[in-house]
Structure 1
Amino acid sequence: MKKLLVLLLVLVLSLSLVACSSNTGGKSTDGAKKIGLVISTQTNPFFVSLKEGAEAKAKELGVEIIVLDSQDDPAKEISNMEDLITKGVDLILVNPTDSDAVVNSVRAANDAKIPVITLDRASNGGEVLSHIASDNVAGGKMAGEFIIEKLGGKGNVVELEGIAGTSAARDRGQGFNEAVAGSELKVVAKQTADFDRVKGLDVMENILQSQPDIQALFAHNDEMALGALEAIKASGRDIMVVGFDATDDAVASVNAGEMAATVAQQPTLIGSIGVETAVKSLNGEKVEASIPVELSLVTK
């Protein structure tokens, strides 16, 4: 009888331990903070740099970081956010594929009491602790003013837009068009190429066929600018190209005298500041609702 009671006691204690371990909700049990990072894509060098900046800062600060790639697919992004919520991470950093599509995921994290910080692209809804990004309106204006200066305030320009619905595309376009509105520059074509190099080439080929008189092109990112540059080279026409992001390929193109300029963001710093801000918040410190990251113009 005594043996039976001992066995029952051991069984009860074992079940209690299992129950305790299963209620951690995926949070780190060794005291280290666990941060989730959902990246829009890893095929774009800009976002690779952002991820690397976040990972380096997480290592420096001794926090665990789980990185998930949304592959530029809003449905995949929803799945990634759900995965991190299920894991019970302490905070989620998200670089949205789309500022509207991410809203429900942000709200789901809000319901789970998991703070959210957005990187580079904002969310159009839900409660966000902080938004860390370049001033994209100022960057678009910087590009527009550079083109105006180089063309003497007159000429025809093409605008290649990023993914519709992203705050980056909206804000860069806004800044550029505000600059153009104060000049005699005319936007003769405006089309989306989804921040993609191949689409940039395809869209620009079509525009070149329909627009015989173009002096300049502004693309919302360097990938589209570099694709469009290939189409321009093939056409034999002389068109000034200005991009945005200052990726390694774009800076090399500027230094080679092919692209005229690119607006330099600091994606590594955006990722780094994201993790730094997350850790500050988790340690009970107050953080700013909006944290701008400095821009500059890269020319030869």
Structure 2
Amino acid sequence: MRTLKKISVTTCVLGLLITTLTGCGGGAAETSKETQVAKGQEGKPKVAVVLKTVSSQYWKFVEAGAKKAFQDLGVEGTVVGPASESQIMEQVNMMEDVLNQKPDALVVAPTQPATAIPVFDRYKQAGIPVLLVDSDANWTDKTAFIGTDNTTAGKTGGEALAKMLKKGDKVALIAGALGNPATDERIKGAKEALTSAGMVIAAEQPADSDKDKAMSVMENMLQTNPDIKGVFSANDDMAIGALRAVTAKGLDIKVIGTDGTIEAVESILSGKLAGSVAQSPYNMGYKGVENAVKAIKGEAVEKRIDSGVEMITKENAQKKLEFLKSISK
């Protein structure tokens, strides 16, 4: 009898155990699958990308490259940025918020690097690698810088503009937000090239990488110097804004921008903008994430990765436009 009771109790216990595990419709298999998915998500490297802004076309190309890298490399990633490049402290606050989320790596395009360095130091203390894209910083603990040599970009644009003018012509320079090293270096390079070619720098003002501000700045420049013959702008949005002011006055002034955005390339094709120094923002975003993953894995990462520049004029604008539209889909 005791043996039968033992068998009966054991059978009941086994039955309850099987019922608990299987549930309705094979719950045990589903629970196991859910656990595997959760583990897979936890196992993904977490990379945060903080841009100067997410509202301009140039930065949307950087974002597109980063997101493609997230997809290709199995990364749990986020991309954030303030509404405009002038919101320096907003970007710093975003980096602090991201730090609290404990990412495995930070990819950032600092608008004002000197202001961001204290936050970078906090990332270092937390053991989180920091990779800079587009704009470098005088911070020795960065894992890498991926971007354009901005002085070279400025020189390339300045040389192209000088070839469209004659010695002694007056030119204007439109800079980005004060303290933005990328746009500052472009202006420096353009100034060197234009001065060397015999051009006269008649005016230089910042427009915070904003179209409307650039239009207003250009209008003011023309009031003081109505005989300006050429303009170099540190980005394409400002170049488009300056062009609007020039067009409104019916003047023939050569305007060259920087970045190679779709809007700029279309303007070049239509004979309005004289040219643009194209960077590789898509590659910056992709390589930023790609090298962040290498750093997370403990692999060697080059300290400086030059993404290069290309001068876009009417001759090669169509080919560039087709490429840009292909990565915008």
The TM tier, using the shorter chain, reads 0.7 to 0.9
Q: CA deviation at 1:275?
A: 0.7
Identity of counterpart residues, as a percentage? 35
- The whole-number CA distance in structure 2 between the counterparts of 1:142 and 1:54 is 27
The residue number in structure 1 matching 2:254 is 240
Q: CA deviation at 1:171?
A: 1.2
The residue number in structure 1 matching 2:114 is 100
Corresponding residue SS for 2:55? coil
Q: Which stretch shows the higher mean deviation, 280-289 or 72-81?
A: 72-81
How large is the RMSD of aligned CA atoms in angstroms? 1.5
The residue number in structure 1 matching 2:228 is 214
1:251 aligns with 2:265: yes
1:65 aligns with 2:77: yes
Write out aligned runs for 1:106-121 (5 A).
Answer: 106-121=120-135
Instruction: Assess if the C-alpha contact under 8 Å between 2:129 and 2:296 holds in 1.
Output: no
Amino acid in structure 2 at the alignment position of 1:199: K
- The whole-number CA distance in structure 2 between the counterparts of 1:76 and 1:87 is 17
Larger Rg: 2
- Give CA-to-partner distance per residue, 1:152-185, whole Å, 9 cap, x none: 3331100000111111112101211121231210
Residue from 20, 30, 35 that aligns with 2:47:
35
Q: CA deviation at 1:97?
A: 2.0
The residue number in structure 1 matching 2:65 is 53
Q: Which runs of 4+ in 1 moved over 3 A?
A: none
Write out aligned runs for 1:1-300 (5 A).
Answer: 30-71=42-83, 72=85, 73-125=87-139, 127-300=141-314
- Give CA-to-partner distance per residue, 1:61-98, whole Å, 9 cap, x none: 00110222233322222221122211111000111121
Instruction: Assess if the C-alpha contact under 8 Å between 1:104 and 1:126 holds in 2.
Output: no
- The whole-number CA distance in structure 2 between the counterparts of 1:163 and 1:242 is 18
Q: Which stretch shows the higher mean deviation, 113-122 or 69-78?
A: 69-78
- The whole-number CA distance in structure 1 between the counterparts of 2:98 and 2:156 is 38
- Give CA-to-partner distance per residue, 1:164-210, whole Å, 9 cap, x none: 11111121012111212312100100000011111110100111111
- The whole-number CA distance in structure 1 between the counterparts of 2:169 and 2:48 is 47
Q: CA deviation at 1:123?
A: 2.3
Structure 2, unaligned runs of 5 or more: 1-39, 315-329
Q: Which stretch shows the higher mean deviation, 163-172 or 76-85?
A: 76-85
- The whole-number CA distance in structure 2 between the counterparts of 1:123 and 1:137 is 14
How has the CA–CA distance of structure 1 residues 60 and 29 changed in structure 2, closer, same or farther, with 3 Å as cutoff? Answer: closer
Instruction: Assess if the C-alpha contact under 8 Å between 1:161 and 1:193 holds in 2.
Output: yes
Q: CA deviation at 1:125?
A: 3.2
TM-score of the aligned structures, taking structure 2 as reference length? 0.80
Instruction: Assess if the C-alpha contact under 8 Å between 1:106 and 1:126 holds in 2.
Output: no
Corresponding residue SS for 2:199? strand
Amino acid in structure 2 at the alignment position of 1:67: V
- The whole-number CA distance in structure 1 between the counterparts of 2:93 and 2:161 is 41
- The whole-number CA distance in structure 1 between the counterparts of 2:281 and 2:307 is 9
Aligned residues: 274
Corresponding residue SS for 1:125? coil
- The whole-number CA distance in structure 2 between the counterparts of 1:179 and 1:93 is 32
Corresponding residue SS for 1:154? coil
- The whole-number CA distance in structure 1 between the counterparts of 2:270 and 2:92 is 41
Instruction: Assess if the C-alpha contact under 8 Å between 2:59 and 2:281 holds in 1.
Output: yes
- The whole-number CA distance in structure 1 between the counterparts of 2:115 and 2:301 is 25
- Give CA-to-partner distance per residue, 1:13-33, whole Å, 9 cap, x none: xxxxxxxxxxxxxxx962110
- The whole-number CA distance in structure 2 between the counterparts of 1:114 and 1:282 is 8
Amino acid in structure 2 at the alignment position of 1:185: M
